[in-house]
Amino acid sequence: MSRQKVEICGVDTSKLPVLKNEEMKKLFIRMQQKDDISAREELVNGNLRLVLSVIQRFNNRGEYVDDLFQVGCIGLMKSIDNFDLKHNVRFSTYAVPMIIGEIRRYLRDNNPIRVSRSLRDTAYKALQVREQLIAKTSKDPTTAEIAAELGVQPSDITFAMDAIQDPVSLFEPIYNDGGDPIFVLDQLRSESENDANWLDNLSLKEGMHRLNEREKMILNKRFFQGKTQMEVADEIGISQAQVSRLEKAAIEEMNKQMFE
Task: List pLDDT tens digits, range 87-130.
Answer: 777 888 888 888 888 888 888 777 655 556 777 788 888 888 88
Task: Supply the pLDDT for residue 76.
Answer: 92
Is residue 141 within 8 Å of 132, Cβ to Cβ?
no
- pLDDT at residue 235 above 70? yes
User: Could you tell me the pLDDT band of residue 3, with boundaries at 50, 70 and 90?
Assistant: very low
- CA dihedral (81, 78, 96, 16) in degrees, to 10, reads -80
| Cα distance between residue 164 and residue 123, in whole Å | 7
Where is average pLDDT lowest: 32-46, 157-171, 173-187, 204-218?
173-187
Please state which architecture CATH assigns to domain 173-258.
Orthogonal Bundle (1.10)
Task: Supply the pLDDT for residue 175.
Answer: 54
User: Could you tell me the pLDDT band of residue 4, with boundaries at 50, 70 and 90?
Assistant: very low
Please state which architecture CATH assigns to domain 7-109.
Up-down Bundle (1.20)
Q: What is the location of CATH 1.20.120.1810 in the chain?
A: 7-109
Classified by CATH at the fold level, domain 117-163 comes out as Arc Repressor Mutant, subunit A (1.10.10)
Q: What is the location of CATH 1.10.10.10 in the chain?
A: 117-163
